[in-house]
């Protein structure tokens, strides 16, 4: 009992299986919204900052009165936020004190291949005995360290990036147990704008989880009471959906805000759940959200939305003007794709007047235009269910992932169009590049496709074309579905920039 929730399919729903918590859940909107601590560098030189992160087991009070074991960067979930300047290198040394090998990927980073967190470039457990097995899938994998230095040159625009685990076949359970954090990149172009800042800029990492009787996170393959096949539960290949919505690691939290504009950097860090966010009540006389940015930073110009659909790994930079609500208002961030508890995300309590010092300019950022005429090739990829050996899995172009097969070889500097088709929802992410959505369903891009993207919400029966320039670095990179269970069950492939 418990695991077999409804199978959810179709354009309106997430793809996944609901995992039900087995302990009483707290009332929503009681826990204050935590903001992840910003990590201090251990050293700075004229053009680089050096950070050290220890990946370790810890316990956290996620549900009030309950201790939950987690895997955390610095023992916290979310991990600490790293804040960088565009063009200034961040060197992050990760030490693995977890019981399993790990891989760190900076999602959205324009990163040289050897620091990109290729899925078999493992950081071995400091106390572990995994060495003999660690490289078995990929003879080229670098498997010697318990500590690894990742170098991020960050020659890219200001953006909401995030870092998370990326180990082959085990990304879903590792991220679920807590291995995810923000990495914000700032630049002068963005700083020159009068956007809400300081305490009026809130990073919001939204992620769903389910909990076992003992307070631990309930993930099918790590739940010893469940029958497993090859270490995975057959029924969860669609994706794991929890029944508790966490924001920055707190269940349905509440934030007190002044009656002013706030910038919400929304990240969907859920394994499989899609959200359709709206405000309840909607603001009188206007739309809930002014979108100022997407995955890879500011839009050229703001766009307004009364609701915003967010697929796994997508980021939406949204400004909400709480000045439109009377003092004392309770404004709930709701999820129109959810039901029961998952229909709510968090609450804002408008508690006080304050001086407004922000506004949203009509022009935000200069964005390099990319159009069809620049493309040297159009490639097509289909994302579908399929068999992997004797079990159900997921494929790209008919193949499950293999680290030894290169599927695509874009030439350094070339502009390419990639066309994606799907059987069910798949949020598709490309490493290294940012892209623009050219079309959706052979029409104009959708309302949430604007700007510089690195993840696109691919839907059944609706082809999407994206255009990207493969510049900066040569080497082997991954592209994959960011439904982490789909990714772990084969929906990943390699491209090699040459
Ligand atoms: Cu956020 Cu390849 O991942
Ligand atoms: Cu998928």
User: In the chain, where are the structural domains located?
Assistant: 31-187, 198-352, 372-497
Closest-lying ligand to the alpha carbon of 162? Answer: 1
Helix (H) or strand (E) holding 175: helix 171-176
Stretch 54-75: mean pLDDT: 98
Q: Please, which residues have CB less than 5 A from ligand 2, an ion?
A: 426, 481, 483, 486
Would you say the CB of residue 105 lies under 6 angstroms from ligand 1?
yes
Decide whether 31-187 matches 372-497 in CATH topology: yes
Start-end of H helices in 304-447: none
Tens-place pLDDT, residues 87-131 = 999 999 999 999 999 999 999 999 999 999 999 999 999 875 444
- For ligand 1, is residue 486 a contact (CB within 6 Å)? no
Which residue has the CA at smallest separation from atom 3 of ligand 1? 107
pLDDT category of residue 340 using cuts at 50, 70 and 90 = very high
Ligand 1 site, residue 88, Cβ cutoff 6 A: no
How many other CB atoms are there within 10 angstroms of residue 93's CB atom? 14
Helix, coil or strand: residue 337:
coil
Q: Which superfamily does 198-352 belong to?
A: Cupredoxins -  blue copper proteins (2.60.40.420)
State the maximum Cα–Cα separation within the chain, in Å, rounded to a whole number: 63
Residues 291 and 450 sit within 8 Å (Cβ to Cβ): yes
The alpha carbon of 330 and the centre of ligand 2 are apart by a number of angstroms equal to 36
- Domain 31-187: which topology? Immunoglobulin-like (2.60.40)
Task: Tell how far the Cα of 36 is from the centroid of ligand 2, in angstroms.
Answer: 29
Phi, psi for 52 (deg, rounded to 5): -125, 130
Instruction: Quote the ipTM score.
Output: 0.98
pLDDT of residue 140: 54
pLDDT in the model for residue 17 = 84
Cα 203 to averaged position of ligand 1 atoms, centre (Å): 19
Q: Is 313 in the pocket of ligand 1 (CB under 6 A)?
A: yes
pLDDT of the residue at 248:
98
Peptide bond between residue 495 and the one before it cis (omega within 30 degrees of 0): no
Residue of the nearest CA to atom 1 in ligand 1?
107
Q: pLDDT digit string (tens) for 179-230?
A: 999 999 999 999 999 999 999 999 999 999 999 999 999 988 644 444 444 4
**Residue 315 Cβ < 6 Å to ligand 1:** no
Q: How far apart are the C-alpha atoms of 187 and 394, rounded to whole Å?
A: 39
- Out of 2.60.40.420, 3.50.50.60, 3.40.190.290, 3.20.20.20, the CATH code matching 372-497 is 2.60.40.420
In sign, the C-alpha dihedral spanning 134, 135, 141, 142 is: positive
**Contact between 431 and 413 (Cβ < 8 Å):** no
| Ligand 1 contacts CB of residue 452 (under 6 A) | no
User: Who's near 353: CB < 8 A, 6+ residues apart?
Assistant: 258, 259, 327
């Amino acid at each position: 009992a418990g695991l077999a929730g409804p199978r959810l399919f179709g354009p309106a729903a997430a793809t996944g299986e609901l995992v039900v918590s087995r302990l009483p859940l707290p009332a929503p909107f009681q826990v204050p919204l935590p903001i992840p601590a910003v990590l201090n560098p251990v050293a700075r030189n004229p053009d680089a900052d050096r950070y050290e992160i220890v990946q370790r087991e810890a316990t956290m009070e996620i549900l009030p009165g309950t201790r939950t074991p987690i895997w955390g960067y610095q023992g916290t979930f979310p991990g600490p936020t790293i804040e960088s300047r565009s063009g200034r290198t961040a060197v992050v040394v990760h030490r693995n004190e977890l019981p399993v090998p790990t891989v760190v990927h900076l999602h959205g980073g324009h990163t040289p291949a050897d620091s990109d967190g290729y899925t078999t470039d493992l950081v071995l457990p400091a106390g572990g005995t995994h060495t003999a097995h660690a490289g078995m899938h990929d003879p080229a994998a670098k498997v010697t360290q318990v500590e690894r230095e990742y170098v991020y040159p960050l020659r890219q625009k200001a953006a909401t990036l995030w870092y998370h685990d990326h180990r082959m076949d085990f990304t879903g359970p590792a991220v679920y147990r807590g291995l995810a954090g923000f990495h914000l990149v700032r630049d002068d172009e963005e700083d020159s704008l009068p956007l809400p800042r300081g305490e009026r800029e809130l990073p919001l990492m939204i992620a769903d989880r389910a909990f076992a009787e003992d307070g631990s996170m309930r993930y099918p393959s790590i739940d010893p009471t469940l029958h497993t096949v090859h270490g995975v539960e057959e029924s969860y290949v669609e994706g794991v959906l929890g029944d508790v919505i966490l924001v920055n690691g707190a269940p349905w939290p509440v934030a007190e805000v002044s009656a002013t504009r706030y910038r919400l950097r929304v990240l969907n860090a859920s394994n499989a759940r899609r959200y359709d966010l709206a405000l309840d009540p909607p603001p009188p006389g206007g739309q809930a959200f002014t979108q100022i940015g997407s995955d890879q930073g500011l839009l050229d110009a703001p766009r307004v939305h009364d609701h915003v659909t967010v697929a796994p790994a997508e980021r939406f930079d949204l400004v909400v003007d709480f000045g439109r609500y009377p003092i004392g208002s309770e404004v709930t961030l709701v999820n129109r794709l959810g039901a029961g508890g998952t229909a709510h995300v968090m609450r804002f309590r408008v508690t006080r007047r304050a001086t407004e010092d922000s506004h949203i300019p009509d022009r935000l950022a200069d964005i390099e235009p990319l159009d069809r005429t620049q493309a040297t090739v159009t490639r097509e990829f289909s994302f579908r269910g399929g068999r992997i050996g004797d079990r159900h899995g997921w494929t790209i172009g008919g193949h499950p992932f293999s680290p030894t097969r290169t599927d695509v070889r874009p030439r350094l500097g070339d502009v390419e169009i990639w066309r994606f088709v799907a059987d069910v929802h798949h949020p598709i992410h490309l490493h290294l590049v940012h892209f623009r959505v050219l079309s959706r369903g052979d029409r104009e891009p959708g309302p949430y496709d604007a700007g510089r993207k690195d993840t696109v919400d691919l839907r059944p029966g609706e082809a999407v074309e994206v255009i990207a320039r493969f510049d900066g670095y040569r080497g082997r990179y991954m592209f994959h579905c960011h439904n982490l269970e789909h990714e772990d069950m084969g929906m990943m492939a390699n491209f090699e920039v040459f």
